[in-house]
Amino acid sequence: MLVKCERIELNKRRTETAGWIEKFGVYIMILVLLILGTLISNKFLTLDNLANVVHAVALLGIVAVGVTFVTYSGHFADMSVPGIIALSGMVAVDMLRYGLVVSLVSGLVTGLMVGLINAFVVGKLRANPIIWTLAVAFVINGVVRWLYRGEQIYPDLKAGEKLASAFVNLARINIGGAVPITVVVFLVMVIIGQLLLTKTKFGVQLKLIGSSYEVARMTGVNVTGMVGLAFILSALAASIGGVLLTSLVKIGAYYNGVGYDFRAVTAIVLGGVSLAGGKGNMIGVLGGVVVIGLLNNILTLLGVGTFSQTIVQGLVFILVVWFNTYSLRKLGKADG
């Protein structure tokens, strides 16, 4: 009896520890990375470097906010976002000859069309979300390479100097002369996303779907519509991120979105969103995105190559998924 009580107490402490880490761990990581960055390089706190970090965090954050809806619904993630990012950006550049507004709208609408297809196939036909969206990403990559012959496209070659300049300066606009527009867009999306998850019928139903798909269906929730809307929002966010990224790097290319899927999922789970669905919030996602941004920047300052950075990011992803699964098992929500 005493041994049983000790085991119960030990499991309780482990669960409490896991919960505490899940709640505050991301903020501790941010603090540690800030201190580490300051210690390893005198370039870390320079304005140029901080500007790079801010842009990287904001762009990843924009994409992550959209993917969060999919993860929250219990459908793991939208792995088609790299394709949507590249496609939206390239279409925006290609349509620049017809004006800036047409360019931006075309890029966003193109991404939304992909989102509608994902919504129908995953929401209505109930295809496996990982396999389907990965397939979509590969198809988009192939289509983009075929359409543009595997070449990069430049704004100044698609439109006049004035339009090209307007496009590439879009992501460089500073609100109030200090705050980058990418950051403003990201923060606005975080606020809207948080309100959608916590203050709307959509958020309540999405939480129920993520917690138990069958229970949600049996209680009359429009599961098809809610899951579909999650994928549409994910595609819209990826489109916005794609247009801004293309503007920032001044080039449309099929590889522009590479890695954004796994980095977004890693940031989301770091921020406390459960891979099983039904748990998490956008404030945590913001913290997770900052961690990924700081980590990548520190690796760059250390002179770590791109391939090695990918390995580190992969290891972080594995650790995050492991801890998420461990936490779910403690709560009795994971298989096995």
Distance CA 266, CA 82 (A): 15
Residue 175 backbone dihedrals phi, psi, to 5 degrees:
-75, 125
Q: CA-to-CA distance for 280 and 274, rounded, in angstroms?
A: 6
Domain count, the chain: 1
Amino acid at 224: T
Grouping H, G, I as helix, E, B as strand and the rest as coil, residue 61 is helix
Which tokens is 19 given?
Answer: 């919960």
At 265-281, the pLDDT tens digits run 999 999 999 999 999 99
Token digits of residue 115: 């989102």
Residues 92-127: tens digit of each pLDDT:
999 999 999 999 999 999 999 999 999 999 999 999
H-run or E-run covering 41: none
Check residue 252 and report its DSSP letter.
B
Centroid of chain to Cα 121: 21
Residue 5 has pLDDT above 60, yes or no: no
> In angstroms, how far is CA 128 from the centroid of its own chain?
19
What number is the average pLDDT over the span 258-269? Answer: 95
Task: At 223, list the tokens.
Answer: 């599961």
Average pLDDT over residues 290-307: 93
With CA atoms as reference, report the closest residue to 128 among 91, 72, 162, 78.
78
- Report which of 218, 294, 223, 260 is spatially closest to residue 85, judged by C-alpha positions: 260
Say whether pLDDT at 172 is over 80: yes
Residue 234 has pLDDT above 50, yes or no: yes
Position of tokens 């920047």? 297
Whether residue 268 lies inside any domain: the answer is no
Q: For residues 98 and 265, is the Cβ–Cβ distance under 8 A?
A: no
Of the candidates 161, 170, 154, which has an alpha carbon nearest to the alpha carbon of residue 93? 154
Q: Token pair 């390089």 is at which residue?
A: 41
Mean pLDDT, the chain, whole residue set: 91
- 3-state SS assignment for residue 179: strand
Give the type of residue at 39. Answer: L
Q: Is 33 a member of any domain? A: no
Instruction: Identify whether the C-beta of residue 82 lies closer than 8 Å to the C-beta of residue 259.
Output: yes
Residue-by-residue DSSP string for 129-175: HHHHHHHHHHHHHHHHHHHTTT--B-HHHHS-HHHHHHHHTGGG-EE
Residue 335 banded pLDDT, cuts 50, 70, 90: very low
Q: Give me 284's structure tokens.
A: 């945590």
Distance CA 208, CA 259 (A): 30
44-69 pLDDT, tens per residue?
Answer: 999 999 999 999 999 999 999 999 99
Residue 6 lies in a domain: no
Closest C-alpha to 209, from 198, 194, 219: 219
Which residue range is the domain that position 245 belongs to? 46-258
Is 17 a member of any domain? no
What pLDDT does residue 321 have? Answer: 82
In a domain, 34, yes or no: no
Q: Count H helices, E strands: the chain?
A: 14, 2
Is 193 within 8 Å of 63 (Cβ atoms)?
no
